[in-house]
Amino acid sequence: METELERPLYLASASPRRIELVRQLGLHVQVCPADVDESAEGNPGKRVLELARRKALHVARQHQRGLVLGADTLVSIGRRVLGKPRDEEQAFEMLRALCGHWHRVYTGVCLADCQDGRVACAVESAMVHMLHLSDEEIFSYIRSGEPMDKAGAYGIQGLGGSIVDCIRGDYYAVMGLPLAKTRQLLGLMGVSVL
C-alpha cells in the first residue's frame, strides 16, 4: 500500500526500477524527470552525488512545496567510469570489459525540500562480479534491449541478473536506489516510512 505524504514527493527520474523501489518503501511518488547536464568531474562517488543533487534541485525549483528525490548510478572498473552506453557498440565494449571481473557500482541519492532548499545527500556502493561471457552471449544480451539505458550496460533486476554471480554490498544500490540510505535521508527530512 502506498502512503500519501503531507507534502508531495517527486522523483527526478523516469526510471521504472526507481519508481518501483520508491513504491517498495510504501510511498506515493510523482514522476518528474530532470533534464540536466549529466557531465561531472571527480571520482565516481563524487560524480553520482553531484548528479543526484543537480537532478533533485532542478525539479525542486519547479515546485512550491514537497520533496524531490534525485538519484544517479555509475559503474567503475579500475579507473574507467561507465555510464549508459550511447549505442550497441559501446554496450559491447562495456560488457566485454566487465566480463569475468569485479567492478564497483555507485549510486548517489539526494532529497531536496522545494520550500526551504534544504538538501540531504548520500552515496552507496557495491562490488559486483560478472560471469565470463562469450561474444555471442554478449551480443544476445544486447539484442534484448536491456543494456541500453543502464549504467555499465546491464540491469541486475532483469536478464542481467543471470550474468552476475556475486555482489558484496547493497543490492539496491546496484539497482539504482539504495533503500536503506533513501529511508535514512527521508527521516532527516521528517518522513518516516516505518
d(CA 191, CA 156): 28
For the annotated catalytic residues, the residue numbers are 72
Closest to 125 measured CA to CA, from 188, 172, 166, 64: 172
Asked if residues 105 and 128 have their Cβ atoms less than 8 Å apart, the reply is yes
List the beta bridge partners of residue 74.
106
| Cell (9 digits) for 161 | 541478473
H-state helical runs in the chain: 16-24, 44-60, 88-98, 135-143, 171-175, 179-188
List the beta bridge partners of residue 124.
107
d(CA 44, CA 57): 20
d(CA 41, CA 48): 10
Residue partners of 132: CB distance under 8 A and separation at least 6:
99, 100
Q: How far is CA 3 from the centre of its chain?
A: 22
